[in-house]
Structure 1
Amino acid sequence: MAMSSAAFDGRSNTRRGRGALFAALLAAVALCLPGVVQAQASGSVTGRIVDARSGAAVEAAQVYLPGLNLGALSAANGRFLIVGVPVGTHQLRAERLGFTTVNQQVTIAAGAAVAVEIRLDQAAIGLDEIVVTGQAGAARQREIGNAISSVKMGSLVEPVKDVQQLLGGRVAGAVITESTGSAGSGGFVRLRGINSVSMSNTPLLYIDGIRVRSEDLPRSSPRGDRSNRSGNVQASPLSQINPEDIDRIEIIKGSAATSIYGTEASAGVIQIFTKKGQQQGKAQWSFTGAQTMRHTMKFGGENRDWIDTDGVVMGNSDYHYMEPWLRNAMGTELSTSVRGGFQNTSYFLSADATDQDYPMPNDFEKRVSVRGNLGFTVFSGMTMEWNSAFTKSHLMNTPSGDNAQGIPLNAQRPTTSYTGTVPTLRGNISKLLEFEIDTYVDRFTTGLTLRHNITQNLDHRFTIGYDRSYSDFRSLRPYGFILDPTGIVDDKRWTGEIFTMDYAANLTLPVGSKFALTFSAGGQAVQN
């Protein structure tokens, strides 16, 4: 048995930043830590920030008393605490990107704690939508100069089967092209067309801030076979993502993404955000089931004259339709998830199973995937997120494509070969189905993100992640195979790994009552 392995490329691609920058940033953070000044006669304000429409807790809302330099950020359960508030009547203000600002009057007595509940209405205009892709931190759409498209799963009416279908027709400038109808094949995603003749035109793909493989997996063809005698399928990473796990997708097109993600992002960036739980939230279960059928219309040439490259008519070609080798393909998909939380902890867990046949006679796909997203409040102002997913797939393909030992080519070629000399498989085409083509694909992605809101004006985050793709391609033409009587067996394995580290800090300085300056710094390192 022949076997080959892809070697790991240890080249490091540093996008931005150096070690000195990280040290300088950490030093700046230390210098910016404010001292806490307690007045001799003071009280405190405590309470909870909630969504006025749903009643859900609002995390990371800024709650402060203008002019007193006192404030806090709401935790994941919406609660906040401000201490050292001078005695008297003050204005309490609550702000959160994507929500309207609320002012509320509070009266503080010495040694007393005032409890309030502030209800925030979601902003109605699209320019208040919060985006993070292409930015060092969260920002309103109106505050940035780049065009960022966003697709939210909650706004969809009809179900979608994969990420390509989710993007198609919903993102301006995005072109989704299906490659084949074979098991495991994905589509090509292009944002604003072809951007480079020397670099990849596939957008970079991020999931929850973690860089993952965006290029298709290696072609499923035997090692050293120049004739592509296989199923000729390249599995797409996008097809391995369960759309039921997605909360929203942000897309930044063209060269605008290079300022944050480097020159590799000249074709754009697609960032997928998966669902999260909610602290202090009851467990919410979801179950989805789907039964599908795929039918392929008749295709293939009719009887016509066969003409060689010199224009000489060599006789009637007697082409076949593909219909005798096509089938109605049935499929089943089951998905379940649970989300919720308790004190200082939130969770989202999901599982998905797919068993799908395809119109070509040997094609099928069996896939299982699991995901776990956990969130923790380490202490007031600091949160940690741990997101992980694993997918395992088994693909079987019919020999097809531009393949002399494949079904479509032999069904539609003339009664002799293209030169008119060698008999073809006419009458024995079905024997090509003895050609077994299997691909086993494993995908594991995990990432950890720490966010620390030092003050209401200063925050930073650190993300580290790992993505691993593995494929095992197996090809068997058994002993006695019609075109290779001695048989051929091949096993080709490939592994791809991506490591990601990302750091960003943001400092916001108010300028008057209506303007603010935001300074951002950070760095990203990717090893592919």
Structure 2
Amino acid sequence: MAKREGKTSDLQRRWRAGIVFLITLSGAGFGAVAGQEGNCDGRASLLVTVLDESGSTVLPGATVVLRWTDAERMPVREATGADGRVRVCVPRDATQAVLWAEFGDHSSGQAAPQALAPGEEREVRLRILSSIPSGRLIGRLVDRETGRPVATAAVSVLGRPAEAASDNRGVFRLTGVPAGQHELQVRRLGYAPLRHEVDVTSGLTTELEIGLVREPVGLEPLVVSTTRSRRLEIKGFYERKHWGELLGLGTFYTAEDIERRRPVRISHMIEDLPSIRTGLDNARAGCGLSVYLDNIRISAADLNRFVLPIEVAGVEVYKGPASLPAEFGGSDSRCGVAVIWTK
């Protein structure tokens, strides 16, 4: 299980817990806001404002998380600007979204704007409330026999009003779930209903892999549960890992992978990959791998001196510019990039 790290700021301590959302149509723009430019070239846009509990004070630096539910697109994680707002242009092939806000170790319930029409501006207001500590559940539903995703299943936590539907990749998300032990319920026509106890940790995301069985097959559903590292989640590691593995764009290692391998040096996790030239021995000529440690560029030769395998939470390896996320791009990254995140 991941450990909470760092100290929550005084501002974050004051504004604990879930967020109530209000969605209205907006007839006028906000002016200058963080995020994407105001001109969305005829596309729909979402104007998101994060406020305090009273609704009178905006909260800069809150993170808005937005996922398109009907389009194969990378999720958006944007911080609100000094005015507590962020604007997101909607892709042309998307009409539905799920979004929430995170502030410190807490997150909101989900807003789910539908039927986003070209040229429309939709306003979403997210209000931080003082409440009990909460966490998130993110899972994937598959057919236990075939391994194929199970879409349109209804997922809920017993005693909570919120219900999520799995998308065409079988993925569901429940945010603002009170910390503690809960009973997760999954229902889908043609499959045996599932009830499974899950532990929700304050400020963290619990990942679930659920294998549903078709009725009346005499198998038991299979549930695998892990808790995400909050540090890696904030840095976008899990999103890049999901899409990178889905599209074959990179290789990713978690702390569990590293523990299983037990490398003497963290560079051994990278050097074993085919077509990778690390330049760690200082003797190789030509084009070498660019290395980032906690988002800071370092010399590849210094990697093993700066960090031990036991200190590493995650590793990302990209072989060339075609697979690189924008944040690690550049002319000096043409021969690949290794990104190492510490615990």
Shared fold per TM-score greater than 0.5: no
Query: Structure 2 length as normaliser, TM-score?
Result: 0.36
Is the strand fraction higher in 1 or 2?
Answer: 1
Q: Which structure has the bigger radius of gyration?
A: 1
Query: Structure 1 length as normaliser, TM-score?
Result: 0.25
